[in-house]
Structure formats: structure tokens, C-alpha cells
A = this chain, B = another copy of it.
Amino acid sequence: MKQLSELMGYRKGIKVVDATLRDGGLVNDFYFPENFAKELYKANLKAGVDYMEFGYKADKEMFDVNSFGKSKFCDDDYIRSIVGENDTDLKIAVMADVGRCNYRQDLIEKKDSPIDLVRVATYINTIPSAVDMIEDAAKKGYETSCNIMAISNAQESDVKIALETLGQSPVNVIYIVDSYGALYPEQIARISDLYLNAAEKYGKKIGIHAHNNQQMAFANTVEAAGDGVDYLDATYAAMGRGAGNCSMELLLGFLRNPKYNIYPVIQFIQEHIVPMQEAGVVWGYDLQYLMTGILNQHPRTAIQFTKEARKDYAEFYKEVVAQD
């Protein structure tokens, strides 16, 4: 039986990672309302969340600072304006994409930064670049994770090589990332098994970042937690690219560790997320995301369908099947 199968108990190793500013920022170009980040930080503290991801550490030579909100770049000053010295148990994370981050320059020594965890995001074919970033960040004193994206499209033999390579790197956490929302819990169980074997061999932790194309983001996260995966990504009201992520409110409603509280999450959603949705920011499960999920495709066509406020789902189905 699974470690979490006694649903009345809990596993202390589990860490909840709030990715709202980062994955949610993909929906609104990181333009969050005034005070959103500050209030989210306070809500996370009250909710007992373990890590809060502030956004991307994007290369300002590649991305125009005037075209994105502050969470796209996560300057240390910006983070400090929200967390001060962050004299709390909540750790601060940022994501750094392979090929889109000037990490040698933009990532200073940990001792001078409010950031605790650098999450390196990579596709399976750029693992060597990811390892270079991980080594740089680790040498500067940060905790590191490696998020291998779009795992539903990767060959198992390639994944094994990636896990061996990462096992020998200084990375602390390796993430299962279902970018396309294509996976079912049974597959998550098998992938978790594969990752956890490598984790045990090399003394790493495993995490999961799910997408909700088939309304499986929460179920897959629960499955992974039961399998022994420790780092669980979630976002408030599932705010994230396309169909969104595992909902923080669902996850905290499930986890039995008394350190977690759902109430501040509900309050925050009522006060800050619902108004944003009412103002026209759109994400979450819908038929177009189900279709790209089933077909194991990148959701970009579904995102475009959403942006154009199209409602001809049947026509879209024919389009994506034709592209398959």
C-alpha cells in the first residue's frame, strides 16, 4: 500500500510549492494587480505553504522589460519589496529556463539574495545546459531543482539517461512535469516509480508539476504524493497556462498535515483571483485543452483558440486531429 494510503495520516517530507505568480503569469504576461504578490505572500504564510515561486529569471536582452510584469524577471529588489528579509519558514523560488536566462550574470550569490530555490526548466534534449545552470546555482549557494518538461512526449530511454545525468549533478529535486496535461494517474505511478528509483540511488527528491487539460492535475498530484513524490506544485484557483495547474485549494484540502490551512487560500481567491477573472483574465479546463491533452500536443493551439474567444469546438477538434 501507498505511504499516503492511510488518509488520516500524512508524510512530513511533503513540500507544497505555490507557482501562481510563475505559471499564472503566463496567462497575463505577468501583469498582476497592485498588491497581488504581497497579499499572495501573506496568504501563503498563513496557509503553511513551503515554497513560493515568484516568477521567471528571464534574460532582459531577450525579453523587453516594458512588455511584461515584474514576475517575468524577478529582480532581487522586486522580491525584497514584497518579502523584505523574509524572516519566515516560507522559501522563495524562481524559475530559470534553459536558453532564456542569463544566469551567470543575473543570479548573484545566495547570501546576497532573497531567493532560496532556483528551478531550472528544460526539455529532455537540453539536459546538459540545465546541468550547467544547476552547477552554477548550486555553487552560488542555492537549492536547485530541475523541471524536465513535456515528459509525456519523451522516450523512456532518454528519461533514464536524463535521470542518471541529473543524479550525478548537485540538483536537489527532479520534477515530473506533465506540460501537456496528457497523463493519467496510472502513468504517473509508473513515471514516479522510475524517478524515485533514481532519487533513491542518488539521494535526490522528486517533485510533480501537473496541468489540468483532462481534469487530472489534482488526481495526478495525489497519485504522485501517494507514490512518494515530495514536492507538489499547485496554484491558487489552478491559475496557469492553458487549462491551469493543480489547485492549491484542492491540494490543501487533501493534505492532512495540520500545518496547512485552506481558509487563507479561499479568502485570497475571493478577494484577488475572482476579480481578476471577472476583469477578463482566462484560464482553466475547457474542451480545447481536453483535446490537445488527449492528443498529447503542446497547448499552444488551444491557447490561441481561447484568445480568439472561439466557441467552435468541433471545428477545432478537426484542426488539431489534422495536425496530429
| B-binding residues in A (CB < 8 A) | 2, 4-5, 7, 184-187, 212, 214-219, 222-223, 226, 247, 249-250, 253-254, 262-263, 266-267, 269-270, 274, 287, 290-291, 294, 311-314, 317
**Are the CB atoms of A186 and B219 closer together than 8 Å?**
no
Residues of B within 8 A of A294 (CB): 253, 262
- A218 neighbours in B (Cβ, 8 Å): 214-216, 219
Taking CB as reference atom, which chain B residue is nearest A218?
A: B215
Expressed in whole angstroms, the minimum distance between the Cβ of A106 and any Cβ of chain B is 37
Contact, CB under 8 Å: A185 / B287: no
Known A-B contacts A218-B215, A287-B249; A313 and B7 likewise in contact (beta carbons under 8 Å): no
Distance in angstroms between the alpha carbons of A198 and B311 in the assembled complex: 46
Cα–Cα, bound, A32→B206 (Å): 48
User: In the complex, which residues of chain B have a beta carbon less than 8 angstroms from the beta carbon of A5?
Assistant: 186
User: Whole-angstrom distance from the CB of A128 to the nearest CB of chain B?
Assistant: 32
The answer on a CB contact under 8 Å between B214 and A313 is: no
Residue of B nearest to A4 (CB): B186
Docked CA distance A154–B53 (Å):
41
Q: Which of A214, A269, A287, A312 has the most CB of B within 10 A?
A: A287
Chain B residues positioned under 8 Å from A267 (CB to CB) = 313-314
